[in-house]
């Protein structure tokens, strides 16, 4: 079987970099993209800001304490999406096998590329050069024989770096890798692994598949394979949307029933609009509630028909809300609603276009 050639390209501090490129007065200074308010969250931080400990998903208030001279700008998604499309057009000069992960990163399968370039590293370097020369931005890239290793490699020498993990060196590379760096291992999973004495890829590789599945469920098989450099997943050119949702964080916590119902109504209207724009149909409604102390709950129910309009969604949303406890001493910080579970296979919406990102105003 022919060895695959996979590239992962990740734009460096994308939103902040676009702002600094287009606004000279922002260059070279600590910058964060986000909403400058009590509930604001950093979406992207420039590398000048990161030196102070500012990072994405961090509270704006915390970021400002870490870096008092921090400049904060509101996002411009139309501009970011336009630049993202320009990046994609560069990718398309080399391959049609593109899997967007977000607005600022993607996998490319260049095993059979349009230019007939034999080495994937040369393609990655050429893509980075064109992004730098044509768009005046920088990108980091990772090259390997599967998605897991290409993703790890792109993170290894950021920013503006290129890393190749050769098949002959993969197991050695993974052996010294901290488990926190494994794709799909979050803080809770890492802590669980640490409690088992697993801190590196080499230690993870010593654990049997059966034991990993017992502890972590089906994903244990994935960890077992990753520790051995195995990842058979193809680069998926079609994005299959499985849900559509929206949420809002309130400027002040709410606990009055009348206020909660009003906000729920507004969220239903927003969801209705998103369902229409996405041409998505599903039959399961999920309510997400986050409290002032950041505790979070979800409630779901499944209807016997597709949920498309306010008339379909609002009664169910109210029914779910009735199952949620809140009070003046336990107020609500955020409400979210989503529709999932397409009624039939035909209801899955396939999106080959570049995925539009969203700003995480909630951490």
Which residues are catalytically annotated?
105
- Backbone dihedral region for residue 166 (phi beyond 0: left; psi -120 to 50: alpha; all else: beta): beta
Q: How far apart are the two ends of the chain, measured CA to CA in Å?
A: 44
Tokens of 264: 């729920």
CA–CA separation, 243 and 280 (whole Å)? 8
CA–CA separation, 83 and 56 (whole Å)? 20
For the chain, strand residue ranges (E) read 6-11, 31-34, 42-45, 71-73, 98-102, 105-109, 139-144, 162-164, 239-241, 243-254, 282-291, 296-307, 332-340, 349-351
CA–CA separation, 175 and 204 (whole Å)? 9
Kindly state the DSSP code that residue 121 receives in the 8-state scheme. Answer: H
């Amino acid at each position: 079987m022919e060895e695959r050639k996979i590239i992962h390209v990740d734009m460096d501090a994308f939103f902040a970099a676009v702002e600094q490129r287009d606004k000279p007065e922002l260059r070279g200074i600590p910058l964060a993209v986000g909403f400058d308010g009590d509930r604001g969250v950093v979406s992207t931080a420039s590398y000048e800001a990161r030196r102070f400990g500012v990072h994405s998903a961090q509270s704006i208030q915390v970021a400002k304490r870490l870096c008092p001279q921090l400049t904060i700008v509101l996002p411009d998604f139309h501009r970011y999406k336009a630049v993202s499309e320009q990046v994609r057009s560069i990718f398309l000069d080399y391959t049609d096998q593109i899997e967007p992960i977000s607005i600022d990163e993607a996998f490319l399968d260049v095993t059979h590329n349009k230019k007939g370039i034999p080495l994937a590293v040369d393609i990655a370097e050429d893509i980075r050069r064109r992004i730098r020369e044509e768009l005046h931005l920088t990108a980091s890239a990772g090259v390997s024989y599967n998605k897991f290793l290409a993703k790890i490699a792109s993170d290894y020498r950021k920013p503006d770096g290129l890393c190749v993990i050769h098949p002959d060196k993969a197991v050695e590379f993974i052996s010294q890798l901290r488990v926190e760096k494994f794709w799909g291992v979050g803080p809770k999973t890492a802590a669980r692994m640490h409690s088992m004495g697993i801190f590196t890829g080499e230690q993870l590789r010593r654990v049997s598949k059966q034991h990993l599945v017992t502890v972590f469920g089906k994903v244990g098989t994935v960890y077992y394979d990753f520790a051995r450099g195995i990842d058979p997943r193809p680069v998926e050119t079609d994005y299959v949307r499985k849900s559509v949702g929206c949420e809002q964080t309130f400027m002040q916590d709410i606990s009055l029933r009348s206020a909660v119902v009003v906000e729920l109504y507004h969220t239903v209207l927003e969801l209705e609009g998103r369902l229409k724009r996405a041409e998505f149909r599903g039959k399961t409604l999920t309510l997400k509630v986050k409290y002032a102390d950041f505790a979070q709950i979800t409630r779901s129910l499944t209807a016997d028909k597709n949920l498309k309009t306010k008339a379909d969604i609002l009664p169910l949303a109210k029914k779910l809300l009735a199952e949620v406890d809140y009070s003046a001493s336990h107020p609500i910080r955020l409400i979210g609603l989503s529709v999932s579970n397409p009624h039939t296979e035909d209801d899955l919406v396939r999106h080959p276009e570049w995925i539009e990102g969203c700003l995480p105003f909630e951490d």
